[in-house]
């Protein structure tokens, strides 16, 4: 049995990775939310996107920890879509800037790598794949 876990991953490690990923995304969304509500130029759409992302990320994290097949797809879709969305938001921010970008671009540049690295780790982790596969039991 230990031979099987070594080659195909461990569900407890997978759950730990998923919860850690959720906490990293929670921190990144907290930075986005805080800076999106900043008084000089608030971006209410970004606040709403951060909250919606957290709600669906929590749902996907719960589903993955409960070993639901659809949870992995949901979490990865949110993470890759969020990375792309943050990239587009950074491009729009840079192209529409009239003055210095202080305070507008930083939260996007902080959150984008967090989303990307988290999505790559969850995509390629055998421990997370094992959470959604019943073939090894």
Structure tokens at 39: 């008084």
pLDDT band at 28 (very low <50, low <70, confident <90, very high): very high
Query: Would 79 be classed as within a structural domain?
Result: yes
Handedness of CA 102, 104, 105, 107 (dihedral sign): positive
How far, in Å, CA of 129 to CA of 137, rounded? Answer: 13
In a domain, 137, yes or no: no
Distance from chain centroid for Cα 80 = 8
Report the domain count for the chain. Answer: 1
CA 120 to chain centre: 10
For the chain, percent of residues with pLDDT exceeding 90:
39
Domain range for residue 125?
2-131
Buried b (16+ CB within 10 A) or exposed e, 34-55: ebbeeeeeebeebbebbeebbe
Average pLDDT, the chain: 83
Domain contains 81 = yes
CA 69 – CA 7 distance, rounded (Å): 20
Task: Check residue 35 and give its pLDDT.
Answer: 82
pLDDT in tens, 72-124: 889 999 999 999 998 998 888 788 766 555 567 888 888 999 999 999 999 99
Q: Is the pTM of this model over 0.95?
A: no
Q: What is the pLDDT of residue 135?
A: 62
Q: How much is the pLDDT for 43?
A: 72
Examine residue 39 and state whether it is found in any structural domain, yes or no. yes
| Mean pLDDT of the region 118-131 | 90
């Amino acid at each position: 049995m230990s031979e099987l876990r070594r080659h195909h991953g461990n569900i407890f490690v997978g759950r730990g990775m998923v919860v850690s990923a959720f906490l990293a995304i929670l921190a990144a969304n907290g930075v986005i939310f805080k800076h999106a509500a900043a008084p000089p130029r608030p971006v209410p759409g970004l606040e709403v996107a951060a909250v919606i992302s957290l709600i669906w990320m929590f749902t996907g994290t719960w589903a993955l920890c409960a070993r639901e097949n659809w949870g992995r797809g949901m979490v990865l879709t949110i993470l890759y879509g969020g990375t792309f969305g943050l990239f587009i938001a950074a491009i729009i921010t840079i192209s529409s800037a009239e003055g210095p970008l202080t305070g507008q671009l930083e939260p996007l540049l902080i959150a984008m790598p967090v989303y990307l690295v988290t999505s790559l780790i969850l995509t390629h982790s055998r421990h997370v794949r094992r959470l959604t596969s019943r073939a090894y039991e």
